[in-house]
Amino acid sequence: VNHNPATITVRLGPRSYNIAVGKGLLPGILSRSPLLRDRPCFVIADRKLHTLTCQITKNLGSRLAGSLYLKGGEPSKQMGTMGKLYEAAARARLDRRSCVIAIGGGVIGDAAGFFAATYLRGLPIIHVPTTLVAQVDSAIGGKTGVNLPSGKNLVGAFHQPMLVVVDTATLTTLPAREFRAGLAEVIKSGVIADSELFGRLEKNLTSILRKDAAELAWIVKRCCAIKADVVSRDERELTGLRAILNFGHTIGHGIEAAAKYSLLHGEAVALGMIGASLLSMRISKFPVKEHDRLLDLIRRTGLPTRLPVKYKPAEILKAMRLDKKVANGQLRFVLATKIGKVKTGIPVAESLVLETIRELQR
């Protein structure tokens, strides 16, 4: 059953595309899509989504050119995976008309996206995100890539999909920890652009944590619309607008790298948001009351609010210096002025950043 499906458009001229959001859209929506008429399809899916993937491939019938399963989780997002994908694509004799379909979380989406951006110098891709992180964030906006041993997302390309299918029914099987990590990105969307979304999270958190269908549909649609709007206005992070999406990610990425991925991306971002919020109180007049609301919401969501002391602040800082958000050797931050509004590109002295990371350990 398909409850209130919505269509959100990412407006990018000739690269515009739709995001279909609803519960129960799969598997039918793909085989019925005019975009896939006469196109050989190459399916790249998370192993855990085997059942759903089989329903989808069955519906595609003779259009299925090949399929490959990957393991979810950060270790799959590396160059070695690309070799496997390129070989499988060659065996499936894909041509320029072929379409890639990525079914899974952000790891599958980023890896399949980079594959689609580079194989035969670019194939169209449809994203079918199945984690909250992927539905509200990674499947939208065209950022694709893999990690290197020396850093996250260091190799990649911008490659917009031709369609994104967000079926919130897929979230039912998502483990609680992964779900909460996704909520970190939802909270982020509220802080950077939407105080109403933030208020709704505060008010209805219990039903959201229970994965109430109507509540989920509302927040996922809202986040997709925010991301679509930001990407439409600054596709390649050139004007600084898209950088608002990095709120909490400057320190967050440093923590993620220093923790050697034992923390989930969203968990590191939750800590990074608290760090950014502390800096915002000092630098961009973010009211103490708003900081307390953010801290409280993160805590009630079940996300970490304290950085374990085993992660050394100096190492986190070192990892931050390697990140792409560092320009001319200067750390730059997205800081909040109030809930729903942020400023980008704010330089912050390393000594103050270190002090803030230490504060996260108290």
**Which residues form the catalytic set?**
121, 143, 185, 227, 237, 242, 246, 249, 253, 265
| Packed helices 288-301 and 195-209: angle between N→C axes, nearest 10 degrees | 20
- Given a contact cutoff of 8 angstroms between Cβ atoms, the answer to whether 225 and 173 are in contact is no
Stretches 119-127, 168-176, 290-298, 346-354: which one binds ligand NAD (CB under 6 A)? 168-176
Q: How many residues does the chain have?
A: 362
Q: For ligand NAD, how many residues bind (rule: CB under 6 A)? A: 27
Residue type, 274: I
Stretches 11-19, 99-107, 115-123, 289-297: which one binds ligand NAD (CB under 6 A)? 99-107
CA gap 296, 21 in Å, rounded: 29
Stretches 14-22, 129-137, 278-286, 337-345: which one binds ligand NAD (CB under 6 A)? 129-137
Residue 104 interacts with ligand NAD (CB under 6 A): yes or no:
yes
Residue 73 interacts with ligand NAD (CB under 6 A): yes or no:
yes
Closest CB 282 distance from ligand NAD, rounded Å: 27
User: Closer to ligand NAD at the Cβ: 46 or 194?
Assistant: 46
User: Closer to ligand NAD at the Cβ: 178 or 323?
Assistant: 178
Distances (CA, A) of 13 to 9, 17, 149, 171, 307: 11, 9, 36, 31, 43
Contacts of 44 (CB under 8 A, 6+ apart): 67, 68, 70, 85, 100, 101, 102, 103, 104, 108, 111, 112, 115
Residue 242 interacts with ligand NAD (CB under 6 A): yes or no:
no
Residue 110 interacts with ligand NAD (CB under 6 A): yes or no:
yes
Closest CB 210 distance from ligand NAD, rounded Å: 16
User: Closer to ligand NAD at the Cβ: 155 or 352?
Assistant: 155
CA gap 217, 181 in Å, rounded: 17
Closest CB 143 distance from ligand NAD, rounded Å: 4
* Binding residue (CB under 6 A) for ligand NAD from 48, 159, 180, 188: 48
Residue 334 interacts with ligand NAD (CB under 6 A): yes or no:
no
Stretches 166-174, 284-292, 313-321, 336-344: which one binds ligand NAD (CB under 6 A)? 166-174
CA gap 224, 322 in Å, rounded: 29
Residue 66 interacts with ligand NAD (CB under 6 A): yes or no:
no
Return phi, psi of residue 333, to 5°.
-125, 155
Stretches 170-178, 229-237, 273-281, 305-313: which one binds ligand NAD (CB under 6 A)? 170-178
- Given a contact cutoff of 8 angstroms between Cβ atoms, the answer to whether 48 and 55 are in contact is no
Closest CB 156 distance from ligand NAD, rounded Å: 8
Residue 108 interacts with ligand NAD (CB under 6 A): yes or no:
yes
CA gap 104, 296 in Å, rounded: 31
* Binding residue (CB under 6 A) for ligand NAD from 265, 323, 344, 356: 265
Residue 56 interacts with ligand NAD (CB under 6 A): yes or no:
no
3-state helix, strand, coil in the chain (%, to 5): 55, 20, 25
Contacts of 327 (CB under 8 A, 6+ apart): none
Residue 167 interacts with ligand NAD (CB under 6 A): yes or no:
no
Residue 178 interacts with ligand NAD (CB under 6 A): yes or no:
yes
Residue 190 interacts with ligand NAD (CB under 6 A): yes or no:
no
Distances (CA, A) of 178 to 124, 181, 230, 264: 28, 5, 25, 8
CA gap 105, 203 in Å, rounded: 27
Binding mask 131-160 for ligand NAD (x = CB under 6 A): x-xx--xx--x-x---------x-------
Distances (CA, A) of 188 to 115, 143, 205, 245, 313: 28, 18, 15, 8, 23
DSSP string, 314-335: HHHHHHHHHSTTEETTEEEEEE
Binding-site ranges for ligand NAD (CB under 6 A): 46, 48-49, 72-74, 77, 104-108, 110, 130-131, 133-134, 137-138, 141, 143, 153, 170, 173-174, 178, 265
